Structures are given as C-alpha cells and as structure tokens.
Structure 1
C-alpha cells in the first residue's frame, strides 16, 4: 500500500514539475518575442514610463514561474538555490534581451533603466516568494 502511494505521489510531483517548466518556458518565449519584435500598432497609454512597469511585471512573473519549477527541481524545500538561480536567470535574461535589442533590432534600443526595471521585478518576486514560504514553514 505504501509503495502504491509513493508511486502515485512521485507521478504527481513529476507532472507538477513539468507543468511549472512549460509555464516558465512559455512565459520566457512570450517575453522574448514581445521584447524583440517591432510593435508599431500598440496603442499608447498616457502613463509616463509605462514600459518600465511592463518590464517589472514581465520579470516578476518570469522569476516567479522559474522559481516554482526550480523549487521542485532542487527538492530541498529550505534551500536558497531556487531563489538565487531564478533571480540570476531573470537578470541575465533581461540583460541579454537588452543587448539583443541594441544589436539586432532597428525599432528597439538598449536601455539601462529597462535592466533596472527587470531587476526590480525579479527582486520583488523573490521577496514575495520568500515571505510566503517563510510564513508557510
């Protein structure tokens, strides 16, 4: 009976890990495309520096989703690795996109403040996750 429960639990965790991976991977692809394609027909919003809020949101979700996958990957629920790895992955991904915008697009340019917004989103995600999991345990 115990063996059957362990097999079922293992299968459920594997499915959960796969779901988290595909969510994180899909979000990464969406961010990549939206940051590198030319978007001329996007309506403008009257909010100053709205693109910085968008960058913050993109990287908040990016870090959050990769954290969920990495938490399942690293198994040790008290490990700081998922926090560090998801944060650094988000930061380096954001920097790579800014470099790619400067080198490979004509409608986009690299912006240091976009990188700062990316880091802010990643840091907020780590803070929210850390508070949540600290209180949970």
Structure 2
C-alpha cells in the first residue's frame, strides 16, 4: 500500500492526535509552572516551545493533507497558520488572563522556529517519497 493511501485511511486518527497534542500544549502553556521542578539551563523552555510547535504543525499538516480538498502546499500553509495563531493567542492569554505566566516574544519566535522546522521536514519527506508537487 502506498504511503499516501495508508495515511489517508487514518485521517480521523490524525485529527484526534492533533487535538490531543494541542490540548497537552495548552495545558503546559497555562498551568502554574512554579510548582514543578526546574531545569537549570538558560532558555530551556524555548526547546519546549520548539518541540510543541514542531509536533503541532506536523499533526495538523497530516490531518489537513489527507482531506480531499487540500493540496500539500495548502496543508502546509494551514498547519503553519494554525500554529502561529495558536502561539500568539496563548502568549496573549498568558499575558492578560493568568497570574503565574507571562507572554514572551521569544517564546513566539521559538514557536515559529518549531513550526518552520516541521514544514521543512515535511517537504523533505514528500520530496523523498515522490509525493505530489507542492
């Protein structure tokens, strides 16, 4: 079975995975982190932002990609925009609606880096698997 046929058969699973991942990211972004153990590495939280948005972009891309009406390019754009808007929204929520968290422009930059890394990996995988052109 071709890779695209196999993945297309599981698009509902991609939706659930994307929703669960996004929910986990939301929880980690909004809970009070002061009670949790800390890692004594400068900007370690940026690695978390990169990882969260890498995963989010990949999962939403896979969900969008295997819906009939989306091309690879459109799916990449949708996944990136979702990650970007989500990241900005979380930073605003942290700034204005939480007491223990603050928004940070460098967190958003890390989010964008993670998302762009995911898009780059998806493009490389599609080119390697001779997927449809973007």
Smaller-chain TM-score bracket: 0.7 to 0.9
Partners in 1 of 2:68 and 2:110 — Cα distance?
A: 28
Partner of 1:69: 63
Partner of 1:104: 97
SS, match of residue 109 in structure 1: coil
Shift of 1:42: 1.6
Encode CA deviations 1:75-131: one digit per residue, 9 max, x unaligned.
56x531111110111011000000000011011001000000000000000000001
Q: How many residues align?
A: 126
- Kindly indicate whether residue 13 of structure 2 is the aligned counterpart of residue 19 of structure 1: yes
Is 1:59–1:121's contact at 8 Å kept on the other side of the alignment? yes
Partners in 2 of 1:20 and 1:124 — Cα distance?
A: 19
Partners in 1 of 2:103 and 2:47 — Cα distance?
A: 16
Shift of 1:39: 2.1
Q: TM-score, normalised by structure 2?
A: 0.87
CA change 1:60–1:99 in 2 (3 A) is same
The 4+ residue runs of structure 1 with deviation greater than 2 A are none
Structure 2: segments with no counterpart, 5+ residues: none
Is 1:56–1:118's contact at 8 Å kept on the other side of the alignment? yes
Shift of 1:13: 4.1
Partner of 2:77: 84
Q: TM-score, normalised by structure 1?
A: 0.85
**More off after superposition, 122-131 vs 41-50:** 41-50
Structure 1: segments with no counterpart, 5+ residues: 1-8
Is 1:74–1:82's contact at 8 Å kept on the other side of the alignment? no
**More off after superposition, 39-48 vs 49-58:** 39-48
Partners in 1 of 2:42 and 2:68 — Cα distance?
A: 40
Partner of 1:32: 26
